[in-house]
Structure 1
Amino acid sequence: MQAVLGWIMSSRWRAVIGVWLMGAIQWLSLLGGGLVALVALRQGPAEGAGVAFLAALGLIPFAIMLGAPPWVLPVAALSLWLPVLVMAWALLRTASLARSFQLAALFGAMVVLALHSGDDTARQVGREMIDQWLMPFLEGREQGVPDEAALDRLAMLVPGMMAAALTAALIISLILGRWWQAILYNPGGFRAEFHELRHGQFAVLTGGVVFILAAVTTTVPLLDNLALVAILVLMFQGLAVCHAFVHRRKLGGVWLVPVYGLLLPFTVPVMSVMAALAILDNVLDLRGRYAPAPQVSDGSDD
Structure 2
Amino acid sequence: MLSVAKYVMKGPMQAFIATLILSVLTVWIAPFGVLVGAIIALVTLRIGETDGLKILAAAMMTTAGAALLMSGSVWPGVVAIVEYMLPVWLLSLVLKNTNSLALSLSLAMLIAGLGVIAFHLSVGDTTVWWQQVFNTYVLPVFNQTGTPFPEEMFSNLTEVATLLIAMFVIVLWFAILLLGRWWQSALYVPGQFREDFYEIRLPKNVALLAVFVALVGLFTQAGLIQDLSGVLMAGLMFQGLAVAHHAVNKRQMNSFWLGGLYVLLFLFPQTILILATIGLIDTWVDIRNRWSET
TM-score class normalised by the smaller sequence: 0.7 to 0.9
Aligned 8 A contact 2:9 2:15 in 1: yes
Corresponding residue of 1:260: 262
The change in CA–CA distance for 1:38 and 1:49 in structure 2 (over 3 A counts) is same
Corresponding residue of 2:46: 42
Name the structure with the higher helix share: 2
SS of the residue corresponding to residue 198 of structure 1 reads: coil
Corresponding residue of 1:244: 246
Percent identity over the alignment is: 28
1:11 aligns with 2:11: yes
AA aligned opposite 1:105: M
User: Which runs of no fewer than 5 residues in structure 1 stay unpaired?
Assistant: 294-302
1:270 aligns with 2:271: yes
Query: 1:27-78 deviations in whole A, cap 9, x for unaligned?
Result: 2212211111111111112111111111222234532443231x22442233
Counterpart-to-counterpart distance in 2, 1:188 and 1:257:
20
Q: Which moved more, 1:201-210 or 1:165-174?
A: 201-210
Corresponding residue of 2:152: 146
Aligned 8 A contact 1:235 1:272 in 2: yes
Counterpart-to-counterpart distance in 2, 1:218 and 1:273:
22
How far the C-alpha of 1:176 sits from its partner, in A, is 0.8
Aligned 8 A contact 1:196 1:240 in 2: yes
Under a length normalisation based on structure 1, what TM-score does the superposition of the two structures give? 0.85
Under a length normalisation based on structure 2, what TM-score does the superposition of the two structures give? 0.87
Residues 94-133 of structure 1 mapped to structure 2, 5 A cutoff: 94-118=98-122, 120=124, 122-131=126-135, 132=137
Q: Which moved more, 1:108-117 or 1:17-26?
A: 17-26
AA aligned opposite 2:179: L
Aligned 8 A contact 1:40 1:49 in 2: yes
Aligned 8 A contact 2:243 2:288 in 1: yes
Counterpart-to-counterpart distance in 2, 1:283 and 1:35:
35
AA aligned opposite 2:207: V
SS of the residue corresponding to residue 174 of structure 1 reads: helix
The change in CA–CA distance for 1:88 and 1:251 in structure 2 (over 3 A counts) is same
Give the alignment partner of residue 94 of structure 2, picking from 74, 90, 93.
Answer: 90
User: Which runs of no fewer than 5 residues in structure 2 stay unpaired?
Assistant: none
Counterpart-to-counterpart distance in 2, 1:191 and 1:36:
21
Counterpart-to-counterpart distance in 1, 2:141 and 2:262:
28
Aligned 8 A contact 2:237 2:276 in 1: yes
Counterpart-to-counterpart distance in 1, 2:173 and 2:5:
20
Corresponding residue of 1:203: 206
C-alpha RMSD of the superposition: 2.6
Counterpart-to-counterpart distance in 1, 2:22 and 2:150:
39
The change in CA–CA distance for 1:186 and 1:272 in structure 2 (over 3 A counts) is same
Corresponding residue of 1:298: none
AA aligned opposite 1:62: A
Aligned 8 A contact 1:211 1:231 in 2: no
Corresponding residue of 1:300: none
AA aligned opposite 1:278: G
Query: 1:165-184 deviations in whole A, cap 9, x for unaligned?
Result: 11111111111111111011
Counterpart-to-counterpart distance in 2, 1:171 and 1:134:
33
Aligned 8 A contact 2:63 2:81 in 1: no
Q: Which moved more, 1:277-286 or 1:116-125?
A: 116-125
